[in-house]
Amino acid sequence: MNRLQKLMWLAACWPVVADAKGQMVDVALNGAGMGQAVNIILALTLVALLPGMLVVMTSFTRIIIVLSMLRHAIGMQETPPNVVLIMLAAFLTLLSMGSTFEQLDQKVVTPLYEQNMPASVALKHGGAIMKEYMVGRTREQDMNFVLSLAGKDIPEDAESISVVHVVPAFLLSELRLAFQIGFVIFLPFLLVDIIVSSVLMAMGMMMVPPVSIALPIKVLMFVLIDGWTLVTRAVLSDSM
């Protein structure tokens, strides 16, 4: 079949295909089809937004920043790998927010899965649960700052605060806490670097890279003090 024959065949079949598509659209826009189409769109949108929601509405941001700063403090740029840090941060997030996720499962996910609750109501309940979690871990100064930027008055109760204002205030509080923990983590490793550099300079071994000697010392020190347990306790202390 040459190109001309293919075009003629497509032109002959196009009215049938167009009519079938029109019938499908009519079915989707009428009765139960419309509700099902809306539910599918909401579900796909929620799946697309889920990674971003994980970052901005949970403790994941704080944990992954602290773990990244720990890796830089030790001096290993690619160890542990990014995928290991991300998965560790994800599971620590599940651990730190266990009660919140249980509420979401009982009040949102299970009723929605059993079709006992409309998707719009489920999203509303889920947003209220997450807002309660974020407000409880947001500094009052950060919340007042965001509300002042938005030109809003400070509400009497947390339920009156919009999610648009809660999320940036929560992120500011999480970033502040993450950098506080990261600063404390950096201090002992910085001390090791200074001592090693001073010793090498005093011995006249200025051509020896301090990193080659400081790195194994820092790794050994981190292992001896059970550093991973200490870091985990630090990043979860505000949530547990």
Global pTM exceeds 0.85: no
Say what percent of the chain tops pLDDT 70. Answer: 74
CA–CA separation, 156 vs 233, rounded Å? 34
Comparing 49 with 235, the larger pLDDT belongs to 235
| CA 216 vs CA 182, 183, 220, 221: distances in Å | 20, 21, 6, 8
**pLDDT tier, 165 (very low <50, low <70, confident <90, very high otherwise):** confident
Comparing 49 with 10, the larger pLDDT belongs to 49
Model confidence over 22-48: pLDDT tens digits?
Answer: 444 343 444 445 556 666 776 677 667
- What's the pLDDT at 22? 43
Q: What is the CA radius of gyration of the chain?
A: 27
Burial class (CB in 10 A: 0-12, 13-18, 19+), 123: middle
Model confidence over 205-222: pLDDT tens digits?
Answer: 777 777 778 888 888 888
Cα-Cα-Cα-Cα dihedral of 177, 182, 184, 189, to 10°? 180
What is the arithmetic mean of pLDDT over 113-117?
A: 70
- What's the pLDDT at 120? 67
Cα-Cα-Cα-Cα dihedral of 40, 46, 48, 49, to 10°? 160
**pLDDT tier, 157 (very low <50, low <70, confident <90, very high otherwise):** low
Of 93, 92, 91, 67, give the one whose Cα is nearest residue 81.
67
- Which of 1-15, 140-154, 163-177 is least confident? 1-15
**pLDDT tier, 3 (very low <50, low <70, confident <90, very high otherwise):** very low
Q: How many CA atoms lie within 13 A of 20 on its CB side?
A: 5
Model confidence over 58-79: pLDDT tens digits?
Answer: 888 888 989 988 888 888 877 8
Which three-class secondary structure state does DSSP give residue 224? helix
CA–CA separation, 169 vs 136, rounded Å? 11
